[in-house]
Amino acid sequence: MKSALFLLPFALVPFFANDFWLVQIFGRALILGIIALSLTFLAAYLGVVSFAQATMAGVAGYTVAYFGPNTVDVGREMPFFVVLPLAMIMATLSGAIIGLIARRSQGIYAIMITLAIGVAFFYFTRQNYNYFNGWTGFSGIRAPEIAGTSLREPLPFYLLIILVSALCLLFVNGFIKSPLGLTIQAVRDAPKRVLAIGIPTTPVIVSAYAFAGFIAGSGGILNVWYQERISSFSVGLGPIVDILVIAVIGGLKNPIGAFIGALAFVLLDTFAVDFIDRERFNTLIGLVLLAIIMGAPDGLHGLAKSWLSRFKKRPSENQV
Amino acid sequence: MTFFLIVTLNGLTLAALYFLAASGFTLIFGLMRTVNMAHGALLLLGGYVGFEVAKTTGFWPLGILGGGLAAAFAGALIQFGILGRFQGDELRQTLASIALSIIMADLMLWYWGGITYQVALPDALAGGFKLPLLGVGYASIRLVLIIFAVVVGITLWLVIAKTRLGAIIRAGVDDREMLRALGFDVAKIFIIVFALGGLLAGMAGVVAASALSIAPGTDLQFLLSSLVVVIVGGMGSVGGAALGALLIGLAEQYGLAYAPTYGVVFTFAIMVFVLAVRPQGLLGRSET
Amino acid sequence: MPINHDHKTANALEIQGVGRRFGGFWAVKDVSLSVRPGERRAVLGPNGAGKTTLFNVLTGDLAASAGTIRMDGADVTQTPMHKRIKGGLRRTYQHAHLFDGLTVRETLFLAVSSVAGGWQRFMPLKPSDGAIGKAESLAQMSGLCSDLGREVANLSHGQRRQLEIGMALAENPKMLLLDEPAAGLSPSERPRLAELLLSLPKDITIVLIEHDMDIALRTSDSVSVLHNGRLLAEGSPENIMSNEAVHDVYMGGAHGH
């Protein structure tokens, strides 16, 4: 519950922000935050840094594009109440399959294997025209109208984003306290011991990835509505690394870190142009990432936490 | 039949490039357990510098040497200045090397721009020649590339099997703590090995710029191929890198020739299959 | 494989001619033992005597290269580890890998429930769950009542050993195999562990490997001594203390150099 309260300031945004800040800054940050949350979940509780989260999000996005309204002549349209559950199922399934492939890999091995899977999917979407429309991908994707409210309007869309963000945070925090969630953490700490108390580890690892796929999928659906298009570049190395950067900058130890990192990333991405050459954004983000990794391995969330605890301990000295 | 042989030859060319790129990557991993995600950036840097050197001096071998040395220096600098600071924390090293690769790629784009570079070849290599028996022409540089990869592979094997540095590397692969206990300056050895990995990457970059061409994106292409090659061949094994490169290079070319839409699926299928039956890679040691 | 129970004559553990070979080397050779239900048996021997290998063969971590193992009269020589666990066998490990990120309560909960089935596994834990109650009574048995909410990473070494035993007690075991439960404990922690071992329910059969002679002799009814993979002597603690052959290889080996 407490962690969802963190999103409260985001809920107040509509009272004073214009549509640009509402959607381009806060909306986009929350969407990227949800996808990064799926990475943070795997990193914090399974102990695996996965590079395939943009891929799982992309699977949901492509499902929405293929079965929803689009302006390319690929796919078949179905009502949104069929498409949305289908997209979630596909994303969860993609997570499970990736988990099955990577189940025996930990640490740096898992990084390499999930990265290879992510890039293989990118090449696949680029070459396949029947389902992914290759290089061009899908455009003209529209968010549906539900009960007379169009989700393409900034305010309803933003409210949906914040609702989904809060639900995802609550899901993660509830799930890690469930028997399966505890077992996932036990596998992180001592996989052989989990076997020794009679629990096979493969289903546990696969369900952790599947759960991550579910979270990434919710972000993926919102993202494809936000972008209104999807192509192989949406699942390419750029987004893959962006999601990692967000999660690392925010901090891999706590689910909230994903949203902190996403907000920092979007603010940098949007306003860096004011003080550096737009072209050099990658150098800037690379330097920020390097500084965080070298100076604050627990990310902005870790920094904020240590500042807060210092403030709580010695309120008087902090004034100096 | 001729077509098949040409495709095979193309596969071998690609495999040679993949091996050159992956050998340094796997060497560094074998000794230090560092996954150097900036390896592709080192390769591209070597390619650019090699291009400049070859253009200025007009002497192609000097370009290879220059590119290799530049990347070796950059590699040593990376290990000395950044990655060496958290030796043993592999995840942090990997993440830091990702940050470095982002920065390097962007700075190279800034300096060399988005255009494609190709190193001018000496006249002797610029043409093609007729393959005996087949009567088909084939670019000389590609054969040189295959020979170069074989020479590098054998040299690397000799260095590891016969020299003092090689003995230290082999000892370190088995037990890094022992090296330290024996009184070796491990930090220095790591910098040397990183430089050696950089040298291999840089030379691979110049060779790639000669046989094919280089541009922004080449770094990622070779980083990824190196990843897949060492996952298949076995992390840390030079022999594994050769085997992996051969499998992936051939699979990619056959895929391109006979099933153009799904070439990448072959590569991926090989990787998944190897992971399923031998998670440590074909010639790799068990992770535990 | 049909399991043939014969309760009247069955020993809790009955092994005959058991051996385990690594390449050409027999780490354990031709060992026969019988342990009565409820008996407390210590297995002693110098380092490299084959004690841990014998344990691994008993639990099914390693397959036996020779001989038969019967538990409660049933032949389990070919039975995989998880089925032996279901049959009531538990063990502790010498080098404890515990779930450092979980609390004591959560760890014991996992040991009790081996993960709830169906939809329940996705639901957050509620204090009213039966498995949680069982976990708490395990904490009581292993003396960790006041540490239920603590993270395992913050436990002392002695408390980690207690938690090991608590996990092994989950779901009414019939037989416990304890692999050096006192290893690495400080002198002040040892008596506490001995008391814990003595307080365990009397119907549980316990076989323990122990280096600490004090604990071993205090907590056991009978002792088997292994040397170079073979059974050297067997008897009551008093007998073993006065056995010359044992003195030569074990006491001599342990204290003479």
For chain B, which chains pass the contact test of at least 3 CB pairs under 8 Å?
Answer: A
**In terms of C-beta density within 10 A (0-12 exposed, 13-18 middle, 19 or more buried), how is residue C245 classed?**
exposed
Tens of pLDDT, residue by residue over A71-120, are 888 888 888 899 999 999 999 999 999 999 988 877 778 888 898 899 88
Instruction: Evaluate whether C214 touches C48 at the Cβ level (below 8 Å).
Output: no
Q: How confident is the model at residue B134 (pLDDT cuts 50, 70, 90)?
A: low
Which of 108-147 (B) contact A at CB < 8 A?
A: 109-110
Q: Is C31 left (phi over 0), alpha (psi -120 to 50) or beta?
A: beta
**Which range has highest mean pLDDT (B104-113, B117-126, C132-141)?**
B104-113
Report the distance separating Cα A32 and Cα A11, nearest Å.
17
pLDDT of C253 strictly over 60: no
Alpha helices in chain B (DSSP H): 2-32, 39-57, 60-81, 90-112, 123-126, 140-162, 164-174, 176-181, 186-211, 218-233, 238-258, 263-277
pLDDT at B22: 94
pLDDT of B125 strictly over 50: yes
pLDDT at A219: 97
Q: How confident is the model at residue B131 (pLDDT cuts 50, 70, 90)?
A: low
Output the six-digit token pair for A183.
Answer: 């077992």
Q: Does B85 touch chain A (CB under 8 A)?
A: yes
pLDDT at B87: 80
pLDDT at C118: 61
pLDDT at A2: 67
CB atoms < 10 A from the CB of A148, how many? Answer: 5
pLDDT at A144: 85
CB atoms < 10 A from the CB of C196, how many? Answer: 19
Tens of pLDDT, residue by residue over B169-193, are 777 766 777 777 777 788 888 899 9
The mean pLDDT value for B2-16 works out to: 88
The mean pLDDT value for C196-210 works out to: 90
Pick the more confident residue, C1 or A280: A280
CB-side neighbour CA atoms (13 Å) of C30: 3
Torsion of CA A141, A147, A153, A154, to 10 degrees: -110
Q: How far is B57 from chain A (nearest CA, A)?
A: 31
Which of 166-195 (A) contact C at CB < 8 A?
A: 174-175, 177-180, 182-183, 185-186, 188-190, 192-194
Rg for chain C, CA atoms, rounded: 19
Residue type, C225: V
Among the listed residues A172, A173, A204, the one whose alpha carbon sits nearest the alpha carbon of residue A188: A204
Tens of pLDDT, residue by residue over B255-288, are 888 877 677 778 878 888 887 788 788 887 764 4
**Which range has highest mean pLDDT (A210-219, A250-259, A306-315)?**
A210-219
User: Which of B37, B87, B91 to mutate to probe the A interface, most A CBs <10 Å?
Assistant: B91
In Å, what is the CA distance from C241 to each residue of B198, C217, C247?
65, 9, 8
Q: Does B95 touch chain A (CB under 8 A)?
A: yes
Query: Domain residues for A89?
Result: 2-319
Selecting from A174, A189, A197 the residue whose C-beta is nearest the C-beta of C100 gives: A189
Contacts A175 to C, Cβ<8 Å: 122, 124
Nearest CA in chain C to A197: C111
**Which range has highest mean pLDDT (A308-312, B253-257, C151-155)?**
C151-155
Contacts A241 to B, Cβ<8 Å: 98, 102
pTM of the model: 0.86
Contacts (Cβ under 8 Å, ≥6 apart) of B37: B94, B97, B98, B100, B101, B223
Q: Does B166 touch chain A (CB under 8 A)?
A: no
**Which range (A3-12, B32-41, C149-158, C202-211) has the least confidence?**
A3-12
The mean pLDDT value for B59-85 works out to: 94
Q: How confident is the model at residue B201 (pLDDT cuts 50, 70, 90)?
A: very high
Q: How confident is the model at residue C120 (pLDDT cuts 50, 70, 90)?
A: low
Q: Is C98 helix (H, G, I), strand (E, B) or coil?
A: coil
pLDDT of A271 strictly over 60: yes
Q: Is C72 helix (H, G, I), strand (E, B) or coil?
A: coil
pLDDT at C143: 87
Contacts C166 to A, Cβ<8 Å: none
User: Which of A283, A287, A298 to mutate to probe the B interface, most B CBs <10 Å?
Assistant: A283
pLDDT at B186: 82
pLDDT of A320 strictly over 60: no
pLDDT of B136 strictly over 70: no
Nearest CA in chain A to B34: A108
Contacts B103 to A, Cβ<8 Å: 282-283, 286-287, 290
CB contact under 8 A, B275 and A111: no
pLDDT at B287: 46
Among the listed residues C249, A21, C172, the one whose alpha carbon sits nearest the alpha carbon of residue A9: A21
**Which range (A16-20, A51-55, C103-107) has the least confidence?**
A16-20
The mean pLDDT value for C15-43 works out to: 90
Contacts (Cβ under 8 Å, ≥6 apart) of C14: C33, C34, C35, C69, C70, C71, C73
The mean pLDDT value for B56-73 works out to: 94
Tell me which DSSP letter residue B262 carries.
G
Output the six-digit token pair for A152.
Answer: 């393409």
**Which range (A25-39, A158-172, C24-38) has the least confidence?**
C24-38
CB contact under 8 A, C122 and A180: yes
pLDDT of C96 strictly over 80: no
**In terms of C-beta density within 10 A (0-12 exposed, 13-18 middle, 19 or more buried), how is residue C9 classed?**
exposed
pLDDT at B167: 83
Biggest alpha carbon distance in chain B? 60
Q: Does A131 touch chain B (CB under 8 A)?
A: no
The mean pLDDT value for A239-252 works out to: 94
CB contact under 8 A, C107 and A186: yes
Contacts (Cβ under 8 Å, ≥6 apart) of C206: C39, C40, C41, C175, C176, C178, C197, C200, C219, C220
The mean pLDDT value for B121-126 works out to: 75
pLDDT at B9: 87
Q: Do chains B and C touch by CB distance (3+ pairs < 8 Å)?
A: no
Contacts (Cβ under 8 Å, ≥6 apart) of B94: A108, A111, B34, B35, B37
pLDDT of A171 strictly over 70: yes
**Which range has highest mean pLDDT (A54-58, A76-80, B81-85, C167-171)?**
A54-58
pLDDT at C32: 92
Report the distance separating Cα A284 and Cα A277, nearest Å.
10
Tens of pLDDT, residue by residue over A181-228, are 999 999 999 988 888 777 888 999 999 999 999 999 999 999 999 999
pLDDT at C2: 45
pLDDT of A20 strictly over 60: yes
3-state helix, strand, coil in chain C (%, to 5): 35, 25, 40
Instruction: Evaluate whether B191 touches B4 at the Cβ level (below 8 Å).
Output: no
Name the packing angle between helices B186-211 and B2-32 (round to 10°).
Answer: 160
**Which range (A103-112, A293-302, C213-222) has the least confidence?**
A103-112
The mean pLDDT value for A245-266 works out to: 94
Nearest CA in chain A to B234: A109
pLDDT at A39: 97
Instruction: Evaluate whether C200 touches C141 at the Cβ level (below 8 Å).
Output: yes
Selecting from A178, A186, A198 the residue whose C-beta is nearest the C-beta of C124 gives: A178
The mean pLDDT value for B33-54 works out to: 94
Contacts (Cβ under 8 Å, ≥6 apart) of B66: B49, B50, B52, B53, B54, B206
- The number of folded domains in chain A is 1
Q: Which residues of C touch A (CB under 8 A)?
A: 81-82, 85-86, 91, 93, 97-102, 106-107, 109-111, 113-116, 120-125, 152, 167, 170
Instruction: Evaluate whether B33 touches B25 at the Cβ level (below 8 Å).
Output: no
Among the listed residues B82, B101, B73, B79, the one whose alpha carbon sits nearest the alpha carbon of residue B191: B79
Q: Is C101 helix (H, G, I), strand (E, B) or coil?
A: coil
Pick the more confident residue, B134 or A56: A56
Which of 31-50 (A) contact B at CB < 8 A?
A: 49
pLDDT at C128: 66
Instruction: Evaluate whether B225 touches A119 at the Cβ level (below 8 Å).
Output: no
Among the listed residues B210, B181, B198, the one whose alpha carbon sits nearest the alpha carbon of residue B117: B210
Name the packing angle between helices B263-277 and B218-233 (round to 10°).
Answer: 40
Selecting from A186, A188, A198 the residue whose C-beta is nearest the C-beta of C82 gives: A198
Tell me which DSSP letter residue C221 carries.
S
Report the distance separating Cα B198 and Cα B24, nearest Å.
7
Contacts A198 to C, Cβ<8 Å: 82, 85-86, 114
Output the six-digit token pair for C175.
Answer: 């037989």
